[in-house]
Structure 1
Amino acid sequence: MTTDESGTAQSPSPERAALLSALAKHRWLFTATLTDLSDEQAAARTTVSELCLGGLVKHVADTEDQWVRFVHDGPAAFSSFEDTDWQARADSFRLLPGETVAGVLADYAAVAARTDEAVRTVDLDRAFPLPEAPWFAPEEWSARRVFLHLLAEVSQHAGHADVLREAVDGRKSMG
């Protein structure tokens, strides 16, 4: 809920409500893949990559947080490609010693709450140029476009998580 100038609670617009609902659904599908897993299982590599379920949650949280900062601050939310900390990026795909399923899920829930607040309040037409990077075309993205991108990211990674979970113990998120 947002409030108007008088402090009266207002329901989000249909567009914002649809974004919030879709994000919530896909976040649930994504995070449900960690249900009943031990920290060791969530840290298990089940493919040739460094990717594990716990690390995937960290990666999605980091990425979502960065995009929400972008809708507030523009390209300054991203470090330059040349300044990328590649070790930190690699570590974002792993559950490191001392990290837990409960901890990464709590961190992601906090990021999701900040994202949801941004979906409720940010001008959806506010746009910034994308930062310079080999994977971005020189264009502007509106907050609306960023939130749609986040929905696609969470959905894509929910599929990855489902495959990883099935490889850990045979459990499927759906079906």
Structure 2
Amino acid sequence: MSDTTSATTLVDAFTDAGGEPTGERAVLLETLAKHRMLLRYTVRGLSDDDARRRPTASALTLAGLLKHVAECEAGWVDFILTGVVAGSESWAEWSPDTDAERDDFTLDDGDTLERLLARYDEVAARTDALVATVDLDVAYPLPDAPWFPAGTRWSARHALSHIIGETAQHSGHADILRETLDGQKSMG
């Protein structure tokens, strides 16, 4: 059997006749798509300067949240594929004081809204392709971190659920920031 045939057969095993994922995989993709859309919607029509503004006492910005969510998703997809989350080697030493130094919320000069949204699209496409084919039961030990119980293992299913949770949580943060900036809301 060729590599192409085996990959096609694997995808077919998780899809209906129309080629779309079904069951649990369809739910994961639908839920991710909904929360990604809500996050993207919060930055609609903003300038790069507005996306970088800090309208609350928090250090969070809309652009920083978008960058964080994309990098968080990419990191957990790497975990699903390799059992490693890039950058997690420093998690064990985390403290509230070091949290402010995290690079995934920090914006570089080149982090325009257009580039951040393009990166998010790339990450989302990679995740969506993985959801269609990955063994949802493949599992690895979690990195050492104060927020994970020692010895815990996560399956691909756990990691994908975590991606959904992160996206939903930060979409809510983004909605608050956007409403504070100019009164626009994602929902309600």
Taking structure 1 as the reference length, the TM-score comes to 0.89
Residues in 1 aligned to 2:66 and 2:11: alpha-carbon distance in whole angstroms: 39
Cα RMSD, aligned residues only:
2.6
Q: What do residues 75-133 of structure 1 show as CA deviations (whole Å, max 9, x unaligned)?
A: 3644312698x699534224332321111010011011111111111100000010111
User: After superposition, where does 1:48-59 map in structure 2 within 5 Å?
Assistant: 48-59=57-68
**C-alpha displacement of 1:6:** 10
Q: Given residue 165 of structure 2, which amino acid in structure 1 is its aligned partner?
A: A
**Tell me, which stretches of 5 or more residues in structure 1 are unaligned?**
none
- Who is 1:113 aligned against? 125
- Who is 1:172 aligned against? 185
Q: Given residue 4 of structure 1, which amino acid in structure 2 is its aligned partner?
A: T
- Who is 1:93 aligned against? 105
Q: Given residue 9 of structure 2, which amino acid in structure 1 is its aligned partner?
A: D
Taking structure 2 as the reference length, the TM-score comes to 0.83
Which of the numbers 70, 82, 86 marks the counterpart of 1:61? 70
Native 8 Å contact 2:10 2:133 kept in 1: no
Instruction: Call closer, same or farther: CA 1:13–1:82 in 2, change over 3 Å.
Output: closer
Q: What do residues 17-61 of structure 1 show as CA deviations (whole Å, max 9, x unaligned)?
A: 110011001100111100000000000011223210001000001
User: After superposition, where does 1:21-36 map in structure 2 within 5 Å?
Assistant: 21-36=30-45
The share of aligned pairs that are identical, in percent, is 50
Residues in 2 aligned to 1:108 and 1:31: alpha-carbon distance in whole angstroms: 9
Structure 1 ranges of 4+ moved more than 6 A = 5-9
Instruction: Call closer, same or farther: CA 1:10–1:4 in 2, change over 3 Å.
Output: farther
Residues in 2 aligned to 1:5 and 1:99: alpha-carbon distance in whole angstroms: 37
- Of 37-46 and 74-83, the range deviating more from structure 2: 74-83
User: After superposition, where does 1:114-129 map in structure 2 within 5 Å?
Assistant: 114-129=126-141
**C-alpha displacement of 1:4:** 1.4
